[in-house]
Amino acid sequence: MKLIFISILIILQTSYLSCQSINSKEQVSNDSENLKPAQDSITKEISLLFLGDIMQHDLQIQSAYNAKTKKYDFSSQFKHIQPIIKKADVVIGNLEVTFNGKPYKGYPRFSSPDQLAFDIKNAGIDYLVTANNHIYDYGLKGFYKTLNVLDSAGIVHTGTFRNEADKQKRQPMVIEENGFKIALLNYTYEVNGGVYSSKILINEIDKTEIKKNLLEMSKTDYDAIIVFFHWGKEYQRTSNSGQKELAKLCFENGANMVIGSHPHVIQEMEKYRFKDKNGKEKDVLVAYSLGNYVSNYGTWRYCDGGAMISMKLQQTVSGEIKIENPGHYLIWVYRPKKTKSGKLRNYYVLPVSQFEKNISLGDAYLKQMKLFINDSRSLLKKNNKNIPEYLFNSKLNMWELN
């Protein structure tokens, strides 16, 4: 009996030690797992904001002039957007004017005061693309002066170049922020007036050249590649087959995002998983047209506003680039007259969600803005994929994705 009791004690002790050993191994294993970085953990992040066409028609230029100081001031066009701009690490827009000098003109040949470039920079917009149909409105003189003014204002730009050496320096536009190194390429469908001087270089859309440029970018150490196109058909509210094919070509050859301008109206935006020819998947985003950032299209339906699109790029431990929290802000140009009898106006770009119930704008302006809002939301609700609208929460004084 004593022998049996001792045997039982030995068995129990052995079992206890065995369990302790297993628990100890599990603890070590769990601790080791905790020390390992998760495969999808984020190593770096950057926030981007894109604007549409920055334009200046005759009345905008005239209204920006201060007769007392004899100077121009375009800051009101960015005043109400600055809080959104300040949230982004990088802000990029399309400059659709030249800085040719006096006489200052709007459509059809745009020449704006140099002060516009400095007000753009002061608003927090550090990057501009310049490949569009109006860049050669005033020939060589206007072309060179535009690039010189942008340099003087400290704005990084790409898409148009003085010569081959300048192109080597500025293509791609290199964005280095928050540990990211991003390449941006810019192309236009054409330049007004047809043939331009061979002394300069303007990136026009050529599929062979675009593919070549993208493959060159893919072989370097860029974390992400963005292509900004001036493309599509004016006033057409959805993308066409040519735009879709070009976006696909970009994604197949290494691009992560494609942003569009030129139609002067908003077109749809999409974010999705793209599978290349080798079966590899990645996040991609395309905004076919952001419409106008600022202009004097006035009461032209669909053209009196536009959209801004924002997103975060994240890089994971495995090196994958994720596109997170993409969203758009609807914006509208508020143009109240400076005096009841005069023709001059103030120009303010308003984020509509923050102002759509602001009765101080007046019934007529609210009605016009509401039409733009309804048109835009109806279009984007139907056609957007995974890119919701940012709405302003007045109680919390913050923007939230809808």
pLDDT tens for each residue of 198-218: 999 999 999 999 999 999 999
**What is the reported pLDDT for 39?**
58
Please, which residues have CB within 8 angstroms of residue 53's CB and are 6 or more apart in sequence?
94, 96, 132, 261, 262, 264, 290, 291, 292, 293, 295, 306
What single DSSP character describes residue 266?
Answer: B
Q: Are 119 and 74 in contact (CB under 8 A)?
A: yes
Q: DSSP characters for 344-365? A: -B--EEEEHHHHTT-GGG-HHH
pLDDT bin (cut points 50, 70, 90) of residue 30 is very low
Q: How far apart are the first and last CA of the chain?
A: 77
* For residues 166-173, average pLDDT: 98
**Per DSSP, which regions of 41-144 are E strands?**
42-54, 65-66, 71-72, 90-95, 127-129
**Which structural domains are found in the chain, ordered by start?**
45-401 (3.60.21)
d(CA 336, CA 347): 7
**Mean pLDDT, to the nearest integer, of 3-17?**
41
Share of the chain above pLDDT 70, in %: 90
The candidate with the shortest Cα–Cα distance to 285, out of 303, 267, 273, is 273
Dist CA 361 CA 356 (whole Å): 9
Q: Region 332-358: what's the mean pLDDT? A: 95
Helix axes 139-153, 115-122, angle to 10 degrees: 30
pLDDT at 353: 98
Please check whether residue 225 is in contact with residue 190, taking contact to mean a CB–CB distance below 8 angstroms: no
Amino acid 276 reads D
Q: What is the pLDDT of residue 276?
A: 85
210: nearest Cα among 183, 239, 186: 186
Q: What is the pLDDT of residues 59-109, one digit of tens each?
A: 999 999 999 999 999 999 999 999 999 999 999 999 999 999 999 999 999
Give me the pLDDT at residue 154, please: 99
pLDDT of residue 278: 83
pLDDT for 15 beyond 50? no
* Whether pLDDT at 17 is above 50: no
CA atoms within 13 A on the CB side of 367: 4
Q: Do 86 and 59 touch, CB atoms closer than 8 A?
A: no
To the nearest whole number, what is the mean pLDDT of the chain? Answer: 92
Q: What is the pLDDT of residue 33?
A: 39
Any idea which of 29-43, 159-173, 220-234 has the lowest mean pLDDT? 29-43
Q: What is the pLDDT of residue 23?
A: 44
180 has pLDDT over 70: yes
Q: Kindly report, residue by residue over 187-203, the tens digit of the pLDDT.
A: 999 999 888 999 999 99
Q: Given this model, what pLDDT does residue 28 score?
A: 34
Residue 4 has pLDDT above 80, yes or no: no
Q: Is 80 exceeded by the pLDDT of residue 16?
A: no
- pLDDT of 8 above 60: no
* Region 143-150 average pLDDT: 99
Tokens of 350: 């308003």
**3-state DSSP assignment of residue 23:** helix
For residues 363-385, average pLDDT: 98
| Cα distance between residue 330 and residue 293, in whole Å | 10
